[in-house]
Chains A and B, each alone.
Chain A
């Protein structure tokens, strides 16, 4: 069974640009959540999608958005990139929603560098 797959693994963008990251969950999993990891702030929750609906959102500006498709694949978008958006972005999937008590599995992450 394939794990959580994130693409691209590495990317470099310029300030002001936008970026789209993709996540394919484990087959059969309907919850996808996204996280930002930086040395200063650690691992922070961005948002969760379940059955194409955003269930919860972390404390991030509106430049961070996401969506989930009918096949449970998810994308997150960051618009008007800032230097501080440079981070490892992690996607996770689980069979049920985050608060259902299921094991939550993570992908390898997408390294974003904003220059």
Chain B
């Protein structure tokens, strides 16, 4: 089963608007990574945020992490039509005897209209 859940499942906005996607997870983590996937393609790594970080920026992307709520958000500012894609958060379970599995949320489908 998926470790995380994302909302919204789908988001439709106009170019220039901001897009916010949320991710929740169930167990303690070392870090959380966000990925983008264009239709039928592989996953493109966007940002890694560690469990001791609260916020991270990369260009138009801003990621926050709240370990007390086991949640993260991805904000894309000034969106472009090229940002149209599915966005996933992924975590590796930390601790226990398991070596760890990378588990994904269900993803948010973002559509940016020109």
Contact = CB atoms under 8 A, between A and B. Distances in A.
Which size bracket describes the interface of A in this complex?
A: 20 to 34
Interface stretch (B15-23, B43-51, B56-64, B76-84): B43-51
A88 to B, nearest CB: 7
Interface residues of B, number: 27
A64 interface: no
Given A98-B92, A101-B30, A104-B90, A109 B99 contact: no
Contact of B99 (A56, A92, A101, A106): A56
Interface of A: 4, 6, 33, 35, 42-45, 48, 55-56, 58, 88, 90, 92, 97-101, 103-109, 111
Q: What is the interface of chain A mostly: helix, strand, loop, or mixed?
A: strand
B45 A103 contact: yes
Q: What is the interface of chain B mostly: helix, strand, loop, or mixed?
A: strand
Contacts of B98: 56, 99
Interface of B: 2, 30-31, 33, 35, 40-45, 48, 50, 88, 90, 92-94, 98-104, 106-107
Given A56-B99, A100-B30, A103-B48, 17 more contacts: A6-B42, A45-B103, A48-B99, A48-B100, A88-B40, A97-B100, A98-B101, A98-B102, A99-B94, A104-B45, A104-B90, A105-B45, A106-B35, A106-B42, A106-B43, A106-B45, A108-B41
A103 B93 CA distance: 15
A99 B30 contact: yes
Shortest beta-carbon contacts, A-B, top 3:
A99-B100, A106-B43, A43-B104
